[in-house]
Chain A
Amino acid sequence: GDSVTQMEGPVTLSEEAFLTINCTYTATGYPSLFWYVQYPGEGLQLLLKATKADDKGSNKGFEATYRKETTSFHLEKGSVQVSDSAVYFCALGGGTSYGKLTFGQGTILTVHP
């Protein structure tokens, strides 16, 4: 079945540091890939997405590129801020026909001033 593996956390960075959170997946067909962010006590918010190979999703300075050859969708940001502290989830969904999402285990990011 489909699965998503994220790098283990927690990740602790200083403000303005470079961020990478690795995500790899296993899926049949051509899934869409997502990054969601969850702030303490809240639900999930879509951060960015990519629907096909080589697509780059970007939002709020975060980027991720859908790499079919390496089955990866790593999240990057060039300069993190304290307000980026949250839990980040990589997820995949079933291609163009929406179905259930399969989530990675989540990575806790803490950014210190």
Chain B
Amino acid sequence: GAVVSQHPSRVICKSGTSVKIECRSLDFQATTMFWYRQFPKQSLMLMATSNEGSKATYEQGVEKDKFLINHASLTLSTLTVTSAHPEDSSFYICSAIVPNYGYTFGSGTRLTVV
């Protein structure tokens, strides 16, 4: 139980296009979801916290207009990287809080912008 399904696992896009990453909670309701970014051989940096039905809270230095987060239902949160550039290439991971359990993570999305 307590699975978060993240898609796609890998995506290659052209510079200037937008990419949407989805995270779905499969057997629980995710009121809160966290979005992290991981650079090669580095730690995870929290980008934003999304709460169902309200605006996401972004960490300092994260461009909210570039990284659009939508958490319209209790089972789905999406991260859209708008007008992607090569410097946005990274590994993006979502995480949800599972009641009475703790944190569970998606399997991650490897984004490559060419």
Interface set of A (CB-CB < 8 Å, partner B): 34, 36, 41-46, 49, 89, 93, 98, 100-106, 108
Contact = CB atoms under 8 A, between A and B. Distances in A.
B9 to A, nearest CB: 8
B102 A100 contact: no
> Which of A43, A44, A101: most chain B CB closer than 10 A?
A43
Interface string B85-111: 000000001010100001111111010
B46 interface: yes
Interface residues of B, number: 20
B interface, by DSSP: helix, strand, loop or mixed? strand
B77 interface: no
A interface: dominant SS: strand
Contact of B102 (A45, A89, A98): A98
Given A43-B6, A98-B97, A104 B102 contact: no
B105 A89 contact: no
Contact of B46 (A44, A100, A106): A100
A75 to B, nearest CB: 15
A49 B32 CA distance: 21
Contact of B43 (A34, A42, A89, A93): A89
A69 to B, nearest CB: 25
B34 A101 contact: yes
Contacts of B42: 105-106
A100 B34 contact: yes
Contacts of A108: 41
B43 A43 contact: no
23 contacts: A34-B103, A36-B105, A43-B93, A43-B106, A43-B108, A44-B93, A44-B95, A46-B102, A46-B103, A98-B32, A98-B97, A98-B103, A100-B34, A101-B34, A101-B44, A102-B46, A103-B43, A103-B44, A105-B42, A105-B43, A106-B41, A106-B43, A108-B41
